[in-house]
Amino acid sequence: MPSDLQLKIMNAGHRALLTLTGGRIGKSIFGMPSLELTTIGRKSGTPRKVMLTAPVVDGDTIVVVASRGGDPTHPAWYLNLRDNPDVEVSLQTGPTRPMTAHIATPEERAKLWPRVVAGYKGYGDYQTKTDREIPLVLLTPRA
């Protein structure tokens, strides 16, 4: 499982790659669009940014996966948006948009999970590594 430091280094590397190449490299990872998600820290109250992939994009709805590589604990960004669903998203280095995060219901997850794994089979592998059910989060434009 990746450590917090490894995740921070991967995020910094992804941002640097996007910046250095003017967005030509890093806009998609493993065939999935990348995005920068900004949450508000549940303890600090300050903005927190993380680079993620979106295995499912349906119109204005973006689905992200709180996998943390199959770690037994939820990622910090997930805990942040669980407590404050008002987020900002920049999809593939596009403009930052205010969005609302909604944790998929069991019914929504059951419908989306096969599409998520079809988008990147690694998510299925991550699920086998942990006892927790990996949450899916739907990001939609804020009204």
Q: Mean pLDDT over residues 113-125, rounded?
A: 94
Q: Which two tokens stand for residue 12?
A: 């910094």
Q: What is the pLDDT of residues 44-97, one digit of tens each?
A: 999 999 989 999 999 999 999 999 888 899 999 999 999 999 999 998 878 999
Confidence of residue 17 (pLDDT cuts 50, 70, 90): low
pLDDT computed for residue 9 by the predictor? 61
- CB atoms under 10 Å from CB of 37, counted, come to 25
> Tokens 């993380």, residue?
50
pTM of the shown model: 0.84
pLDDT computed for residue 143 by the predictor? 78
Report how far residue 33's alpha carbon sits from residue 92's, in angstroms, rounded to the nearest whole number: 6
Task: Provide the sign of the torsion angle of the four alpha carbons 9, 112, 37, 76, taken in this order.
Answer: negative
Report how far residue 142's alpha carbon sits from residue 96's, in angstroms, rounded to the nearest whole number: 12
> Tokens 């770690």, residue?
71
Tell me the sheet residues that pair with 64.
137
Q: What is the pLDDT of residues 37-47, one digit of tens each?
A: 999 999 999 99
Averaged pLDDT score across all residues of the chain = 87
Evaluate if residue 123 carries a pLDDT over 90: yes
